[in-house]
Amino acid sequence: MANLEYKQAVLKLTFEAGLTGDGKLKTKSKSYRNILAAATANGLDTVANTLANFSNSPYIGAEKVETSNII
C-alpha cells in the first residue's frame, strides 16, 4: 500500500498588479518556503495577512502548496 511522505510546503500570497489593456486583472505572487507540515490554517492566515500589510499592492489571497513523495 502506498503512503504519502511530506516533502515541503510553500505559502503563496497573491496581489493585484493593475489591469491589462483589455481591462482584465493582472496578478503577482510572492512565495515563502519552509512552511511546517503542522502549520494550521489559522496560523497561516495570520502570517499571510501580516505579510500582506508590508505590500503596497492590494492583497487578494493566499494558498498553501504542499509537495509529498509517494512511497
User: Which residues, 6+ apart, have CB-to-CB distance to 63 below 8 Å?
Assistant: 11, 12, 14
For the chain, which ranges sit under pLDDT 50?
Answer: none
Nearest CA to 11 among 23, 29, 27, 28? Answer: 29
DSSP letter at 54 equals: T
The three cell numbers of residue 44 are 497561516
The pLDDT value given to residue 28: 97
Give me the pLDDT at residue 44, please.
97
Helices (H), the chain: 41-52
What's the grid cell of residue 14? 497573491
Write out pLDDT tens, residues 8-25. 999 999 999 999 999 999
pLDDT value of residue 7: 95
